[in-house]
Amino acid sequence: MSRALLEAEGVVRRLGGRRVLDGIGLGVERGQGYVLSGDNGSGKTTLLRILAGLEAADAGVLRLEGEQTPLPRYPDDWRLRVVYVHQHPYLFHTSVAANIAYGLKARGVAREQWLQKVEEAIDWAGLREVVAVPPQKLSGGEKQRVALARAKVLSPQLLLLDEPTANLDADGRRRTLELLPRLFADGVSVLIACHDREIIELSGVRRFHLEDGKLVPLA
């Protein structure tokens, strides 16, 4: 079986007359971590959102486990397999646990199962001490960890993280950074768009740089 989980070919996105993504080609292997760097406005978020099925591309083809998806259409189960975490994650006005359980409930997972998975995810993300705090009162770092737990608990085939350490204080950044290698260790394919040098230099990840709409592999 091919190790390729996701392949992108000729992905084009025009915004305001500019080709933000100019024929992007990308291959994502199972269980591999990737880091996507690039200047502000270089199209990192746009690419992640297209891969997540949240934004339409103007042209291109995506293949997930060999199944071809001519953009801008996505199969119904795309977002069950590819999960995107926003740079500024939105937490629903419920509880931390209900936020983490949201995707599991959307997938129709049985109550006993999601209860157990949520408990495990709370421990995984180190959220036990804030589990009773209303999500809107959490710090930026805690919100980011809830969002990571909420995505990770779904066991996605591909996890797309958009600037996971941006705008976090030192402690929030440190605790978020601790979770990333654990995601790789769990065998989740992860593509991270970021500026953070510490993430870019994580061991074992493959690096790309997005510039002038083109994707350049980095050593």
Partner 1 sequence: MDLLEPTRQAFALLLRGDPELLQIIWLSIWLSVTAILLISPPSIAFGVLLARRRFPGQRALVVLVQALLSFPTVVVGLVLYLLLSRRGPFGSLELLFTPTAIVIGYMVIAFPVLVTFTVSAVQGADPRVFETARSLGASGKRAALTTLSEVRFGIIAAVVTAFGRVISEVGCAIMIGGNIDGLTRNMPTAIALETSKGDFAQGIALGMVLMALALGINVAMAFLQGEGGLK
| Binding interface with partner 1 (CB under 8 A) | 52, 54, 79-80, 83-86, 88-90, 92-93, 102-103, 106-107, 150-151, 154
Nearer to partner 1, 88 or 128 (CB): 88
Question: Smallest distance from the beta carbon of 86 to partner 1, in angstroms?
Answer: 6
- Output the smallest distance, CB 80 to partner 1, in A: 5
Residues paired with residue 27 on neighbouring β-strands, in sequence order = 7
Kindly tell me which of 93 and 174 has the beta carbon lying closer to partner 1.
Answer: 93
Task: Using the Cα atoms of residue 149, residue 151, residue 153 and residue 158 in order, give the sign of their dihedral.
Answer: negative
Between 3 and 93, name the residue whose CB sits nearer to partner 1: 93
Q: Closer to partner 1 by CB, 115 or 202: give it.
A: 115
**What minimum distance in Å lies between the beta carbon of 217 and partner 1?**
27
Shortest spacing between CB 165 and partner 1, in angstroms:
18
Own/partner contacts of 28-32, CB < 8 Å, gap of 24 or more, are 28/4, 28/158, 28/189, 28/191, 29/3, 29/4, 29/5, 29/189, 30/3, 30/5, 30/157, 30/187, 30/189, 31/184, 31/187, 31/188, 31/189, 32/184, 32/189, 32/205, 32/206
